[in-house]
Structure 1
Amino acid sequence: MKNQKKAMLFGLITVLLWSTVASAFKITLSHFEPIQMVLIASLTSIVLLTGIALQQKKIHLLKQYFVKQPLFYLTLGVINPFLYYLVLFKAYDLLPASQAQALNYTWAITLTLLSVPFLGQKIRKKDWVAILFSYTGALVIATKGDLLGLNFESPLGVAFALLSTLIWASYWIINAKNNNDPIVSLLLGFLLSLPFTLIATALLSDFNFNSVEGILGAIYIGLFEMGISFVLWLMAIKLATNTAQVSNLIFISPFISLFLLSAIVGEEIHPSTFIGLVTIIVGLVIQQINWRNKRRVAIAKE
């Protein structure tokens, strides 16, 4: 049963949750290494998603999906959560959270570029304009406005942030033709990624989780970044009679996130970060606008 009001409510709740995670990332990184965060957050999400799958009586699908496509789900699991969050958390570790989260918003543009060789899609004129705006915004953020000097405060941090967009876009490219239940598919990926996360934790860090604040922060990330927000967003899209209205709520998130980073974390927001973020959002909006329909409406009015 479609219900636009409920869809907007679920979408808004999801966006508000997403707005808090940059602050949660930065706070938790003051207690744990990135791989330690991935481990605790992944375990939290596995518990949550298992509960949802049991409640929906779909837990039996795990075996069915794995037997049918073991390599496919193993690949998905290695990409998300293992590689994606390890790289993303490292970016947040090296950069101010305001910069890392703004750069991460260029993933939709990266998806457009990857869709050409892997999905056979064509880049439209408005896509090129969107790409120009978004990557100009990313450059403004990375250089703190010094575009001519190209002076990067943390080149490695910027590289990790942009690499995270490549990994996340790749995940959706690979997942594009997956018609199986999304929650069960996500849970299976998380389960298959767990051995990799455990091995990486042993190699890159340790299992010394002696910070209550860090554990609570990682649990929060597992619940609200990796788990509940995913489920709520699926519900919003499923209920929507106008998907575009729900999708456009995403553009609110980065600005709320900047406010929370300043208010909660005490991070100073550089003016260039705000300018760059606005430029990126303009690019994303341009990409979504259906110019043909706009012209048709204008002609009809005439």
Structure 2
Amino acid sequence: MSRVTQRRRVARLSADGAVSERGDTLAGEEPLEVRVNGSSFSVTMRTPGHDFDLAVGFLHGEGVVTSWSDVAQIDYRSGIGADGQRDYNVVDVTLADGVAPPDPGLERHVYTSSSCGICGTASIESVRRSGAHDLGADETAYPLASLLDLPERLRVEQAVFDRTGGVHAAGLFLPGEDGLELACLREDVGRHNAVDKVVGWALRERGMPLRGGVLQVSGRASFELVQKAVLAGIPVLSAVSAPSSLAVDLAQESGLTLIGFNRGSSLNVYCGHERVEPATSTPATTPEPAGDGPEQPRD
């Protein structure tokens, strides 16, 4: 099976004219074909590892499965590949009795790249899916300080990123005795894959909805990540970068709290601000700067 990381030789050139050769560690990237009941459903590019969770999390986002009990069996395709080794790039998912097979219209007609989770979707109508969980009923509130801590708490656990600098991360934080606790972290070259691996783990270990949970991601908040959070019943999605306009629209419609630019000392709440408890205000010690109008946001 391909490794999560691989070594390559690289030439390093500096502005002072120095040239050296050294080894570099790269994030692995391999195709993964997901089959349902023996039929090919999708091919995605991913970092090998936690493939079963990735497959089930992906199928959950596609509306094929809603719980772990919907899966009767999951395994790598039996047989030997062209190189004489077992093929670990094909995952077979057999649905339980009574679980309807996926609509042929959901089948991906082209492979999904590591940067796009909805590429190849057969129709516009099949892109947006309705969530079964009422996020509005989750009234969990979070102190601002605990939310501001999440990106750094995620970062210190990113072992593959430390070695490669080339993967995204998604972390599921759930309420515990000491506040929000990291329940699952996954890394992948694809941000949507990292989230699917987390969702697949949660489906297997805890079930849905993930009440009181916060999904912290290392990049931007796209429409597809908001949708995956909504479908999993996660009330808060926090990103270190920007959301898209459609992501904000979907979050607002779904009752999800969407946070962007969460970078240690401040964050932007695009919708669902009632779940965030602001810090205690302190009197200003410096005068407001003079100008013709309000200062433009730095984000």
Same fold (TM over 0.5): no
Q: Which has the higher strand share?
A: 2
Q: Which has the higher helix share?
A: 1
Larger radius of gyration: 2
Per the shorter chain, which TM-score range? Answer: under 0.3
The TM-score normalised by the length of structure 2 is 0.25
